[in-house]
Structure 1
Amino acid sequence: MRTKLYFLFLLLPVVALAQTKVSGLVKDENGESVPFANVLFVNSNEGTITNEDGRFYLESDETWSTLRVSFIGFETQDIELDQKVNYKMEIVLGSGAEAMSEVVIFSGKTSKDEAENPAIKMLRKIWANKRENGLRQFKQYKYDKYEKLQFDLNTIDSALINSKLFKGMEFIFDQTDTSRVTGKTYLPIFVNEAFSKVYGDNVINKEKEILEGNKNSGFSENQTIITFVKDLYNDYDVYSNYLQFFDKSFTSPISRTGIQTYNYVLADSTFIDNKWCYNIIYYPRRKNELTFKGDFWVNDTTWAIKEINMQLSKSANINWVKEIYMEQEFDIVNDSTFLLARDYFLSDFSFRKKEESRGMYGKRTTLYENYDFDKELDKDFYDREVYNYDKDVYNRDDAFWEENRLESLSKDEAGVYKMLDTLKTVKKFKNLYNAGSILASGYWEIPSLNFDYGPIFSTFGFNDVEGLRIRTGGRTYFGQNDLWRLEGFLAYGFKDKKGKFGLSGKWLVDKKSRLIFSGGYRQDVEQIGASLTTSRDVLGRNLASSSLVNTAVNDKLTSIKLANVAVEIEPIQNLKFRTDLSLRELASASPTFSLDYFTDEAMTTTTGELKQAEVVFTTIWEPGKKTSGFGVERRTANEWFPTFFVSYTRGLEGTLDSDFEYDKLQFSFKKSTRLGGFGQLSISTEVGKIFDEVPLALLSPVPGNQSLFSIFNTYSQLNFYEFVTDEYASVQLEHNFGGRIFNRIPLLKGLNLREIIGIRGVIGNISQGNIDLNRPAFEDLLFEDGMMPTAITPNLIAPSSEPYYEYSFGVGNIFKVFRIDLNIRGNYNFLPDARKVGVTGSFGFYF
């Protein structure tokens, strides 16, 4: 599998189209590399700095004849360029005594005292003035924004070009070019352009971006892909203490915690746009942290940033990203206001961080123009939403882009549009694209039938009741903005020799209010003891009922027949109201698991079957959530927003021959928060209460986890139905330090491991009435000889005398994909088959 994925990570050392290219190594007279030296073409503003190993790469579309290399404390070197391409240069800088006497040169760890290090004094002035710089100083603002996103295959060699994989597609390599940052040759494969008008109001803290046009190579109307790519590169404010992207928090070099994180060196000073500016070089104090190296220019009166570049530290604890390079340039809008004019972001994705390894570039260039200020707009303007898909926005003509493209496309970027149009006609590429689509969505697309087969990954399952289970299914799919959708599945268990099936449909009636009608029917086997909240997803199926390996017998499964109709509406963005009317028929699916209860007050008659009609009123609020698409199904396009959930359930006795009348109230809250350099905290809390006596099938079992997977919102050391409640309060906390502790331990800091701690607790109660009602659930399972069966039946006890709790210690990022947790049960160890200690794990690709 890994070998086949490598087709995404390619390379080609060929000469591209730029006019002047140089690369090499800068050393001192002793042969030691000189990091952070300035390298530029003489009589130009095009330059770079050497990396921490003293290496550099620089290219220009113009022809230049002289390269200048300089650094404080050394003599400046001017090198004549006899040809347009000059690779593997070695430049030796001699000591400069005069320069050495002008400023203090720092090496290694620099002083944090501003009396000894002038760069620290300047940094404090930046902090003191940052709120007076940028757009914050205006009540309202408006500007034009042009954004270009590009993905490129990099490090392509001639052997790969001639390989069987690309046979018939060799023409794609006509578009290769060379990166001005890394010096590697790349092949553009995806370009997305967007032009927007942005409005903001600092008084009411509102901002709105109106997309005027979008154009890309290959996915012109696929908002999901476009939104995913754009969300990968979030906008950031360099003045913030932490910069958030790739699900990580990187310490900004302008951060108030920067003195503890970076070394700073005052390196140079000069006029830029007729403003005197100082140049400060920075680099990390410690390895393995989420930090950068680079330099910035700051104005000497406003203490505003004029230019800054940031390059990811090679030792940073981040996966799949070998390189991150960012540049920001600020223009003077009036005599004292510096505003962002250009933002460039490059990332090099790769399986490995070795220099020669193949990968994929992701690049974003954003330009800002036509600033306008202090023109107030109605608050309704910022709250007004777009409900319909405007196809014209994604199909603007060439004249629109000639007028609004703030930076011309390179020859290769322009050529990629034509190249991909041709590539999409090649059968081999279609097959590769389809394979990638299946991996991403889990469905096999059949466009000729407007049908998707899947989910592929649900084809096989296993549990103690069904044995091996196979499943087949699919959904209608005309496009991502479909107003209606039908889905269904068929399944069969080879042990119980029973078929299962489900069918559901949903219809978006009104786009503005997102009024949706839905309904369906499912007949299946389910582990309802794995969640506190009853699912009414007609096609849903949880991992607990199909896990291949379990820590205890997984036979406490329920046969369910569920019919459900629902209506939901979203009158305010991210505030959803839903009403469900459902009819469930529940019975035990296993001879060693009982759901029996008394049906009469005299407690003489029992049954193990339940028929229950319910109406459920649910409110879900997710402030800050962003979505893509305009159809009946939308995809979430961001993370880190909270979820508030409130549900009221009314059991309808007598309706459709329903057995019980009861009331149930539930509330839950979930949120993951990035805590700057301290990692990520996830919290989940839930409370609930059932106000009447009901059978076991309607009670609230504390969710156990008998699998070997680490599953948030379950209790890893609890068996299914070990605790059963009719009122409960549950809290789960998990904190991922992101390597902050391990990175300081000598034997561990080079492994890029991540430490994770968690604690989970629940307190609850079950009334005596519910215990008495459900007594047959464990009494009736006695065999004739009076012995209990092998499987342990529900205890019908709740953690009421003291909260049940457990805690865990985890190590993540093992080989970049594995996580292992040691789970320890805190109490109630006297219960039968209590699992005191256990190990769970998970697998995933995370940055």
Structure 2
Amino acid sequence: MNKIFTIIFLIVSTTIFSQVKVEGVVVDEQGESIPFANVVFKGSTVGTVSDENGKFYLESDENYSEIEISFIGYETKKLIIKSRNFNLKVVLIESSDQLDEVIIYSGKVKNKGNPAVAILKKIWAKKRLNGKFLFNQYEYDKYEKLEFDMNNIDSVMMKRKLFRGMEFIFKNIDTSNITGKSYLPIFINEAVYKTYGNNEIDKSREDLIANKNSGFDSNQNIISFIKDLYVEYDIYDNYIKIFDKSFVSPLSRTGTLNYNYVLTDSAYIENKWCYNIMYYPRRKGELNFKGDFWVNDSTFAVKEINMQANKSANINWVKDIYIEQEFDVLNDSVFLLKRDYMMSDFSIGKKEKAKGVYGKRTTMYKNYKFDIDKGKDFYKEESDIYKEEIYARKDDFWKENRQEQLNEDETGIYKMLDTLSTVPKFKKMYNLVSILGSGYIEFKNFDYGPIFSTIGKNDVEGTRIRVGGRTYFGSNDLWRLQGYLAYGFKDDQIKYGFSGKWMLDKKNRIILGAGNRRDIEQIGVSLTTTNDVLGRSFASSSFFSSGDNSKLTSINLTNSFISIEPKKNLAFRLGASYRTLKTASPTFNLDYIDENNDIQSEIKQSEVDFSIRYTPNRKTIGYGVERNNVNDDYATLFINYSRGLKGVFNSDFDYQKLQLFYRQPFLLGGFGRTFTTFEIGKTFGEVPLGLLNVVPGNQSYFNIDNTYALLDYYEFVTDTYASLHLEHNFNGRLFSRLPLIRKLNLREIVGFKSVWGEISPENIAINASNIQYKAPEDVYFEYSAGVGNIFKVFRLDFIWRGSYRNVPDANNFGIKGSFGFYF
């Protein structure tokens, strides 16, 4: 830390921050670090636990002058400290009466006869007999503050050309009371809620009363990412879900298999006698925490707890996760959550000095009331989050309803962030990040893109270029127009697509939409089909394809629809469409025999469709005609009914089609995450190839969801089908047990895909295309084993075909890769 930054740091910290700050490392007599040592201010319950490298940081608003450092098998050490003590080196001496207990020295603690484990078992017995679960109904006020902060700010960073003209932002530098590192807030969101619950019917309701935003307030992608930091978790559950990972809770019934527990102290906390238990992981590389908690001696309810993620845990882009909770005592026995704090340190690297971003959430609870029955109908209603007054509360309201008042710097951050958004240089930086995140280049009221679809290639069009964009007045636009133009240098043809949406009613999300697309596409990229005018087409992005890629179709699709969402996450849609289909390639055709026994090469089809989409537990942000998802752990149920209308606009076929799609992710505790996808469908009536269900193949070198890795395009065709996809990611649980590869943080992935289908004799009889119909009547399946998290961004899968192995030109084995950014 250089002199300039040290002076700034000391001036700021001595005027507005904590009275005492201590930082150092705990080692033994040989200089080896001692992880998970207990460090507390003497005479208090304020403490921390050293990390895996023996390092610790501790601070307090009180003026303490002494700390105590202890660890099993070592003599407790007391040190006199100054108000600012950094780079301390604390040497612990091995206790003479425990020298023979090597197992204690290694950090492993026996469970048998351990008083801490005996207390833990009593916590398990009473964990569902505490807090709000004791009452039939409950309600309370909730205040939530979310922050996004750049961290590890130093003088070198402040002097960079990047920040010229924006030096004023560094006046708002703050210091983390968890890590002791400097940080600069760049986003703040505050919200006030009224929460209700009924344990008898297991229903809850949360009404948004007020919301205040600053920083990146117009970028819904950034806001949704920060909102996802707020995940519902209960320390009494066996697993705590953070960033799609299941961490073993220190209060889990399987905790003794994952943690060492040590009873370290007992003391009165708010007139309640409590035990202090320290815990730390038994093994490196697993999704565990370290920390301590205070538990009452009679109710065995937790009074305070802090949890810090194991630094060697297999999680990407996150250097630290820290959680602390405090509980209030009601009526001398009931413990209710009072304060919940979570901080995540996002960084590319895990080195101590690596710069990154803090994501912080503070939630406060008060005014608990119980057994006030609101009735069942109360929980069927939803509060109106579109009321303008929610987002226009005055300063007096916030002063009264903030359960934790902003400090001087936080108060100034709103002004600083609003000023920063007007600086041209910052706006350029912000726009660059926004382009990479959304794929669109922002102009006034118009976005150009998506830029990632600008260039493509396929056998019919050759090299293809595409330009497009959308209207964008704000994230909550009630209407939106979008479109594109494309040109293929080989076929020398212009393609286009455009669509528009208009929201008539915000509460029920009544939306009208229409559009037209004339383009070339790969039919059969998914079993469950929709009439989305601007849907994805593999034809425009097949740079890395293998085998024949000429089976492409020229489509002219016009569609209109009306949709409504009368209940959250339950949407109904009614649509009508007209399309023409013909081959785009001289080596492939869609020919069929009509009722006059003539061969036709173009399909004209009018269709009406009705669909239901149900996505329980999906969280979204915004209320415009288009919304962003906050989470991805929700189930999806999609049911679609289509009816072909022969004779309408010279339509060729009369048929009915019924399809069902169901996708469900499962978090299996410490064993990882499973994705299941199930699809069934049937077409009633005679239809040609262009209207049948093609089992989706994958002729690229990369993994593509809901396709079959070893199938070529049009290898199987059906009018009746059922498919099942299973994929399980162990999140490194197996590799973490192997010493030689544990540090690589690799993740094991296994998968299974199968499909059954058939095709009627009538549909076979009208076929005149050069595609010979074959249905997977004996069930086609393939299975895979893969390694993920290679260099944090790459995944490699090895796939084997399990059936239809002896058909000509069968792909019986393949290797596919994919890139992605995952925690």
- Tell me the TM-score normalized by structure 2: 0.95
Question: Which residue of the other structure, out of 544, 547, 552, is the alignment partner of 1:552?
Answer: 547
- 2:485–2:496: 8 Å Cα contact kept in structure 1? yes
Partner residue in 2 for 1:781: none
One of 787, 795, 801 as aligned partner of 2:772: 795
Give me the whole-angstrom Cα distance separating, in 1, the residues matched to 2:539 and 2:130.
Answer: 54
Q: Does 1:766 align with 2:742?
A: no
Which residue number corresponds to residue 781 of structure 2? 805
Partner of 2:817: 841
Q: Secondary structure at the match of 1:537?
A: coil
Determine which of 245, 250, 254 is the counterpart of 1:253: 250
Deviates more, 1:824-833 or 1:161-170: 824-833
Matches within 5 A, 1:35-434: 35-42=35-42, 45-71=45-71, 76-82=76-82, 84-94=83-93, 108-113=107-112, 116-220=113-217, 225-387=222-384, 389-434=386-431
Partner residue in 2 for 1:814? 790
Residues in 1 aligned to 2:523 and 2:437: alpha-carbon distance in whole angstroms:
29
Deviation at 1:279, TM superposition (A): 1.4
| Maintained 8 Å contact 1:251/1:291 | yes
One of 804, 825, 843 as aligned partner of 2:801 = 825
Q: Deviations over 1:336-370 (max 9, x none)?
A: 11111111111111111112211111111211111
Distance 1:140 1:388 in 2: 24
Distance 1:380 1:548 in 2: 55
Give the Å deviation of 1:45. Answer: 4.8
Shift of 1:223: 6.2
Shift of 1:418: 2.1
CA distance in 2, matches of 1:273, 1:427: 52
Deviation of 1:197 after TM superposition, in Å, equals: 1.6
For 2:190 and 2:622, the matched residues in 1 are separated by: 18
Structure 2 CA distance for aligned equivalents of residues 647 and 123 of structure 1: 51
Task: Answer whether contact 2:528 2:660 (CA < 8 A) is retained.
Answer: no
C-alpha distance in 2, partners of 1:158/1:274?
A: 46
What residue number does 1:632 align with? 625
Q: Which amino acid aligns with 1:20?
A: V
Q: Which residue of 2 aligns with 1:461?
A: 456
Q: Deviations over 1:700-721 (max 9, x none)?
A: 1101011111112100000000
Partner of 1:582: 577
In structure 2, give the amino acid aligned to 1:370: N
Query: In structure 1, which of residues 724, 729, 736 is the aligned counterpart of residue 722 of structure 2?
Result: 729
Q: Partner letter of residue 60 of structure 1? A: S
Q: Distance in 2 between matches of 1:250 and 1:147?
A: 23
Give secondary structure in 1 for the equivalent of 2:744: coil
For 2:634, the equivalent position in structure 1 comes to 641
Report the counterpart of residue 560 of structure 2 in structure 1: 565
CA distance in 2, matches of 1:361, 1:388: 28
CA distance in 2, matches of 1:748, 1:219: 40
Task: Name the SS of the counterpart of 1:132 in structure 2.
Answer: coil
How many angstroms apart in 2 are the aligned matches of 1:625 and 1:222?
Answer: 20
TM-aligned CA deviation for residue 248 of structure 1:
0.8
**Per the alignment, in what secondary structure is the counterpart of residue 303 of structure 1?**
coil
Task: Please give the secondary structure, in 1, of the residue aligned with 2:122.
Answer: helix
Deviation, structure 1 residue 612? 0.5
Residue 479 (structure 1) shift: 2.0
Describe the shift of the 1:748–1:63 C-alpha distance in structure 2 as closer, same or farther (beyond 3 A).
Answer: same
- For 1:183-222, what per-residue CA distance to the aligned partner results, in whole angstroms no more than 9, with x for missing partners? 2222222222222121111111111222222223224576
Structure 1 residue 511 corresponds to structure 2 residue 503: no
Provide the secondary structure at the position in 2 that maps to 1:418: helix
Residues 723 and 795, structure 1, Cα contact 8 Å, conserved in 2: no
1:479 counterpart residue number: 474
Q: Find the aligned partners of 2:91 and 2:787 in 1 and give their Cα distance.
A: 45
Instruction: String of CA shifts for 1:20-73, please: whole Å, max 9, x gaps.
Output: 221112344554444434433445554323223332112234544333444566
TM-score, structure 1 as length reference: 0.92
Check 1:45–1:284 CA distance in 2 against 1; reply closer, same or farther (3 A cut).
closer
User: Are the counterparts in 1 of residues 721 and 756 from structure 2 also a CA contact under 8 Å?
Assistant: yes
Amino acid aligned to 1:486: L
Q: Is the alpha carbon distance of 1:565 and 1:631 closer, same or farther for their aligned partners in structure 2, counting shifts above 3 Å? A: same
1:746 aligns with 2:739: yes
Aligned CA distance change for structure 1 residues 160 and 512 (closer, same or farther; 3 Å): closer
Aligned position for 1:6: none
**Pair 1:658-2:655 in alignment:** no
Rounded Cα–Cα distance in structure 1 between residues aligned with 2:430 and 2:37: 44
Structure 2 CA distance, aligned partners of 1:98 and 1:73? 8
> Residue deviations 1:495-540, cap 9 Å, x none?
1110011111112122232222111111000111211122311111
Which residue does the alignment assign to 2:521? 526
Q: CA 1:81–1:742 in 2, change beyond 3 Å: closer, same or farther? A: closer
Say if 1:545 and 1:557, in contact at 8 Å, map to a contact too: no
Choose from 763, 767, 777 the match for 2:769.
Answer: 777
Deviation at 1:226, TM superposition (A): 3.7
The answer on whether the counterparts of 1:72 and 1:99 sit within 8 Å (CA) in structure 2 is no
Q: Which range moves more in the overlay, 661-670 or 540-549?
A: 540-549
Q: Distance in 2 between matches of 1:202 and 1:566?
A: 41
* Distance change (3 Å), C-alpha of 1:221 and 1:215: farther
Shift of 1:262: 1.3
Residue by residue over 1:584-628, the C-alpha shift from the partner in whole angstroms, topping out at 9 and shown as x without a partner, is 100000000111111235x3x211101001111111122222222
SS in 1 for 2:558: strand
Alignment partners' CA distance in 2, 1:799 and 1:662: 22
| 2:521 and 2:538 in contact (8 A); partners too | no
Q: Are the counterparts in 2 of residues 11 and 185 from structure 1 also a CA contact under 8 Å?
A: no
Output the CA distance in 2 between the equivalents of 1:80 and 1:809.
57
CA separation of 1:378 and 1:223: change in aligned 2, threshold 3 A: farther
SS class of match (1:711): coil
Q: Which 10-residue stretch deviates more, 90-99 or 48-57? A: 90-99
Q: Distance in 2 between matches of 1:98 and 1:685?
A: 63
Q: Where does structure 2 lack aligned partners over 5 or more consecutive residues? A: none
CA distance in 1, matches of 2:182, 2:245: 28
Query: Distance in 2 between the 1:665 and 1:494 partners?
Result: 39
Whole-angstrom CA distance in 2 between matches of 1:752 and 1:11: 36
Deviation at 1:130, TM superposition (A): 0.3
1:148, 1:513 → 2: CA distance? 29
8 Å contact kept, 1:739–1:753: yes
Contact 2:218 2:475 in 1 (8 A): no
CA distance in 2: counterparts of 1:677 and 1:750, whole angstroms: 19
Gap change, CA 1:737 and 1:71, over 3 Å in 2? closer
Tell me the distance in 2 between the aligned counterparts of 1:33 and 1:745: 23
**Equivalent AA in structure 2 for residue 760 of structure 1:** K
The answer to whether the 8 A contact 1:46-1:60 is kept is: yes
Q: What is the alpha-carbon distance in structure 1 between the residues aligned to residue 162 and residue 200 of structure 2? A: 57
How many angstroms apart in 1 are the aligned matches of 2:46 and 2:650?
A: 80
Query: Gaps (5+ residues) in structure 1?
Result: 1-9, 779-793
Comparing 216-225 and 379-388, the one that deviates more: 216-225
Equivalent-residue separation in structure 2 for 1:210 and 1:111 (angstroms):
48
After TM superposition, give the deviation of residue 695 of structure 1 in Å. 0.8
The match for 1:785 is none
1:76-113 CA-partner distances (Å, limit 9, x unpaired): 5443334x321111233456679999xx9685222233
